[in-house]
Amino acid sequence: MRSVAENSTPRIKVSMRGAQKTFSEPGKPAIEVLSGVDLDVAEHEFVCLLGPSGCGKSTLLNMCAGFESIDGGTIAIDGEPVMGPDPRRVFVFQEYAIFPWMSVWDNIAFGLQGRSDAQRHEIARHYIELVGLEGFERAYPRELSGGMKQRVGVARALAVNPDILYMDEPFGALDSLTRLNLRSQLIQIWRREKKTILFVTHDIDEATQLGQRVVVMSARPARIKTIVDLSGLAYPRDIDSAEYIQARDRLFEEMGVSTRV
């Protein structure tokens, strides 16, 4: 099956040119976190940012989302410079960024103020079903597993119909089986909803399972070492296939990690 981005020639959604970030504090040496990042992300594309912990991946994502200022170069969305947060671009964090005093239903419908009751009901129902939380509509976060909480976060992000979904290691705090299930579910959601996704991870298997392209970043200050095109690897991806293993081993090699222990 052909991937979303292969069905047509999509326009560029996110464009980074020479993106740079330096953190400084009075009396301390400046720390260059990002150095000259150039990257284009196509509309509806799923791109993983892969690199060692602390290399600056999350900082780059925060800059794209408008949460962090840019110190050099440019980052543009649809040709317009990023000036700050925008409701068309939604963030999903590793921590469960949902309201503990609200039910699943109310969390997912939270961003739908201004819609009619009928519209809010229809949208909330759609995304509850999409992430497989039927029967838990009136449950509170304390009654949910970690994976279920993260599905609430994904559903709430999608409910406001964003153009871009920024995901910062959203499954990092979950057990391995839950991570596998949520990765599979995320791919199904992405293919159905046709969103642009920028996904930060330091997990090579996760990047191999999810990304159409994987941007391999160096240690700090982060630069792009290489971009590995996995668009020829069909979804759903068979982790036991020779093609998958070859792609994963390529990423291990680019990260400078041995596949032998």
Average pLDDT per block of 10 residues along the chain, 261 residues long: 53 95 86 92 97 89 94 94 91 82 92 86 90 91 90 89 93 84 91 94 95 94 93 93 95 82 55
Q: Is residue 260 part of a domain?
A: no
Cα dihedral 93, 94, 95, 97, rounded to 10, equals 30
- Burial code (b: 16+ CB inside 10 Å, e: under 16) for 193-214 equals bebbbbbbbbbbbbbbbbbbbb
What pLDDT does 260 receive? 60
Q: Which domain holds residue 120?
A: 100-161
Q: Is residue 239 part of a domain?
A: yes
Count up the domains in the chain and report the number: 2
Q: Is residue 95 part of a domain?
A: no
* Same domain as 170, residue 54: yes
What pLDDT does 139 receive? 94
